[in-house]
Amino acid sequence: MKKTLLRSIGLVSVFALIPAFTTAFAAVDVSTYKELDQFMSVFERVRSDYVDKVDDRTLIKGAIDGMLASLDPHSAYLDARDRQNMRTQTQGAYGGLGLSVTMEDGAVKIMTPQQDTPAWRAGLKSGDYITHLDGNLLYGGTLDEAVDQMRGKPGSKISLTIVRPGRDKPFDVILTRELIQLKPVKWEVKDQVGIININTFVNSGTGDAVRSAISGIQKSIGHEPLGYVIDLRSNPGGLLDQAIDVSDIFLDHGEIVSQRGREKTDIERRYATSGDLARGLPIIVLVDAGSASAAEIVAGALQDNKRALVMGERSFGKGSVQTVIELSDDTALKLTTARYYTPSGRSVQEGGIKPDIAVPQLSDPDYKDRPRLREADLRKHLINEAKVDDKVLEDDGKPDPRFILTADALKKQGIEDFQLNYAIKTISRMAQAPLRTALASVKRGAR
């Protein structure tokens, strides 16, 4: 059984790499057999002579860890524990903090906090390092051990020591664990503009939840809104079919995405079906450095089809497709099997989606100094075949001189989210003219 995923990063844990060997070597040449023979020699020598006794499963796990680690950051073997973590985080609920984390050089690094969770409300950011839990040093341990400590009974407290690039000293944050439940889509209305916040695409009902959001927005105000803001910020991705479904909701025709495998002839294209549920109303898609994979497919599809303006910061830049291949009842292989391309033929690998209007998050007091973690920063990431301009990778959300307001000044004006506020005001301007004219005028005004 196979399921196609567009996972940027694991939710709260990054999966260990541990598969079982196969013996299908029909196309292997003689030199490869010699290498396998050498591997078995090392295996037997370690079993017999290592200072401590090591069981065979541990040695095989280490060997396969190395094999998959030589590929790319998103290929992994999922053992029983990993599969349970995936099921828990995509289908169930757990007591925890709402963090996506990874291990970098022995340190625990935050990839993104999930919205409406203790970590998100405490202001933890992508790129923060967690050095201590309840005063105990984490460095040198495993990611699973750190995740196990952060999870726990809802209502219990835990202290995290955070090192944030750009700040001189570490600081402590005391969080109360909550029951973390997956809510892929939320919606609200502000100033007659419908806001659809899509947090993740891992849920198979994400598309249906977006349809319900559109219906709910229209019913709440008794008529159609001025337009829609689709908020994909800090959305780490998920299922390919859900990204296609969400894109199709806002498109009446045109290509959504193409998927290309190892061979030149291995190309699969997906197209929109008739019926734009937003009925041609103006749309702005918000993205940032945490918008990845499936989120980038949606942003790229609407941008290339001239259906929406993309606003915010350059996205994460993950343009690869993973297929989950079940090997047994409790193990599976998550393998990178293809690259995806936007309708215009762009690969977002490394470079991400560039917004039509770059808008910094001025309401974040650390936005100037906080580094943005993206695909190009991950070790052994796939290289974009078209080669991304280094200037694009170096442009990491540096301050734009046109935006001079400070977070404190915005707060005094009652603006808690500058990017969202800017998008709502832009939608209001766009609603006063036909979409094409509005798009052109907004782009001219942003230069």
- Terminal C-alpha separation, the chain: 50
Say how far apart CA 147 and CA 14 lie, in whole Å: 10
318 is an active site residue: yes
Say how far apart CA 251 and CA 303 lie, in whole Å: 11
Which structure tokens are listed for 45? 């020598």
User: Which position among 61, 318, 320, 363 bears the catalytic label?
Assistant: 318
Q: How far is CA 21 from CA 60, 64, 77, 159, 230, in A?
A: 8, 8, 11, 41, 44
354 is an active site residue: no
Contact 187, 102 (CB under 8 A): no
User: Which position among 304, 315, 347, 363 bears the catalytic label?
Assistant: 304
Say how far apart CA 291 and CA 108 lie, in whole Å: 21
Phi-psi region of 12 (alpha: psi -120 to 50; beta: other; left: phi over 0): left
In 305-406, which residue ranges form alpha helices assigned H by DSSP?
390-394
Say how far apart CA 347 and CA 174 lie, in whole Å: 41
User: Which position among 8, 234, 293, 315 bears the catalytic label?
Assistant: 293
Angle at 189 between CA 188 and CA 191, to 5 degrees: 155
Phi-psi region of 155 (alpha: psi -120 to 50; beta: other; left: phi over 0): left
Residue among 305, 308, 304, 343 at smallest CA distance from 232 = 308
29 is an active site residue: no
Catalytic positions are 293, 304, 318
